[in-house]
Amino acid sequence: MQVSIACNIGAGGGSGITASEHLQKERRVALSMTAALVGQSKVRAEPSKRTVLFDQKSSLHLFTFCRNLGKSGLRVSCLGLGTWVTFGSQISDEMAESVVTVAYDNGVNLFDTAEVYASGRYSKISLIYMGVVESGRSSYVVTTKIYWGGQAETEHGLSRKHITEGLRGSLSRLQLDYVDIVFTNRSDVNAPMEEVVRAMTCVIDEGLAMYWGTSRWKAAEIMEAYSVARHFNLVPPVCEQAEYHYFQRDKVELHLPELYYKIGVGAMTWSPLASGLLTGKYHKGVPDSSRAAMKGYSWLKERLHSDEGKQQLSKVKELHLLAERLKCTAPQLAIAWCLRSEGVSSVLLGVSNKEQLMENLGSIGVLTQLTPPLIAEMDALLGNKPRGHKKATRS
């Protein structure tokens, strides 16, 4: 049984329903789900060994919760699975397969990859996509990011050569004919914008990708790409991947909504738990099993020990008390807070086991509790509401 959990908000799609009516409909549906979802952290196994939030007698499985990717026609689950953690070297193939299966069975149709995830080896991902997802390629969305590649000068960056060859290499490792969305990182300021847009249009015309998006681009760069596309009759980007959580707000809440209304670019956000900072695991120091204690994450440990980090941890403790008041977990509240933001098409989850995934999926039930007074209370607690901030919530 497949149970969908993502949120049904997006462009009207020509249905004749106003945006206000869409929001009211979502509130009614989500309210009916709250009792079933809020606080759910235990995994329940079906006789078929599938892990789902609802049994077959539940009428809630009839509802699908998806959003349009920006103003495109592509429907994506509002909670996606980011595979950077799931397919990391510290996770076994069996656990990775289990996490993807549980996510898919609960309505997650968006799986985000990159050419360097799992050190550029896609054995785990290709095995799962080819063998676990049984409903066919058309039932899920795969993304990848191009930029890093190999060590040679021609194996990274955003030249037309690397965009084309890097994407083909990723497809080969994924054992897929195409990806639905290919993202580009704008770290390579030496690549002319016209070359990037033409290369993206080329891979789409060749059938290697359906859409293209940006990752960590500035709003001005996204607007430039759109202008180049329109000037030369090329394909413009449809989405920006951006970091978004309690302590990283300006881009998603100030700049991307404006781009959404002007040119239809949506937001796919990542790190909703701020690399684990919002979970509470660092309240009493850095556990040996935590990410901050791992090799290559010294930057996170330094951040936690900085004055700013200590202030943030103090605010996280207060947010935990707020979550207790709402009868949900702190991660559920943090993810729901991201989902409530205007223009956000999907929030990517980073999980390493099924229990963590099921807890995060329960954030859907918290969404309806984020009323304007509660958001105002959270803004006052955080003290970092962006200046010039306009209404940026879906409820």
Q: Pick from 372, 330, 325: which is nearest to 41 by CA?
A: 330
Burial class (CB in 10 A: 0-12, 13-18, 19+), 198: middle
Is 117 among the catalytic positions?
A: yes
Which are the contacts of 218, defined by CB distance < 8 A and separation ≥ 6? 186
Give yes or no for a contact between 364 and 7, defined as CB atoms under 8 angstroms apart. Answer: yes
- Distance between the two ends of the chain, CA-based, in angstroms? 30
Task: List, in sequence order, every beta strand (DSSP E) within 186-320.
Answer: 209-215, 239-243, 266-270
* CA–CA dist 370, 290 (Å, integer): 29
Q: Tokens 């010294």 sit at which residue? A: 298
Closest listed residue to residue 253, CA positions, set 145, 150, 385, 362: 385
Q: Tell me which residue of 88, 41, 46 sits closest to 361, measured CA to CA.
A: 41
Side-chain-side CA neighbours of 133 within 13 Å: the count stands at 23
Find the catalytic residue in 104, 117, 129, 246. 117
67 in Cβ contact with 10 (< 8 Å): yes
How many CB atoms sit inside 10 A of residue 337's CB? 25
Burial string for 146-159 (b: 16+ CB within 10 Å, else e) reads bbbbeeeeebbbbb
Catalytic center residues: 117
